[in-house]
Amino acid sequence: MDILLICLGFILLIIGLIGSFLPVLPGPTLGWFGLLMLYFTSIQPVGWFFLGITLLVAIIIAVLDYVIPAVGTKRFGGSRAGAIGTTIGLIVGIFAPIPLGILIGPFVGALVGELVFNKSNTKQAFKAALGSLLGFLASTFMKFVVSVIFIVLFIVQVVNNYDHFSVTF
């Protein structure tokens, strides 16, 4: 059963890492559930204190994930339409057949959102789109770093306790 829980935990961590780039997946939160799987193994290599601290980090990151792009957009004079355009642009950019679509999409989405819905002038819309892009990049980087840290913590726990795990399913 332990091997199954470790595999499930690792899969959740990898999906969490992917989720640090995709807005539809709660990256670090899924990663935390991967760490939680270790608690349910026969020797419980992680305790409640470890899980509590990592859950707090995951919650803080989840909240900041919504705050940082909005702050970036507002700081550069953007609006809600620019922030929504960023998210739509990201989703389109992921599936776009062009390289770096995941970076170009949010910028173009914010620019279009500002130009169409707020009737902003081009200079103001460009500035807001840049702020939205910078907020998105900062948020994505933060989620990616936390997801990688969760994976490292998971691997260290598994390697340090590998000889104690039960091999039965």
pLDDT digits (tens, 9 = 90+) for 43-53: 777 789 999 99
Q: What is the pTM of this model?
A: 0.81
Predicted confidence at residue 49, as pLDDT, reads 93
Give percent of the chain above pLDDT 70: 96
Q: What CA–CA distance (Å, rounded) separates 80 from 97? A: 27
DSSP one-letter string for 69-92 = HHHHHHHTT--HHHHHHHHHHHHH
The pLDDT tens digits of the residues spanning 105-136 come to 888 888 888 888 877 688 888 888 888 778 88
The token pair at 88 is 């739509």
Residue 141 has pLDDT above 90, yes or no: yes
The pLDDT tens digits of the residues spanning 7-56 come to 999 999 999 999 998 777 889 999 999 999 988 987 777 789 999 999 99
Q: What CA–CA distance (Å, rounded) separates 105 from 72? A: 16
Q: What is the DSSP letter of 1?
A: -
Q: What are phi and psi of 100, to 5 degrees?
A: 65, 20
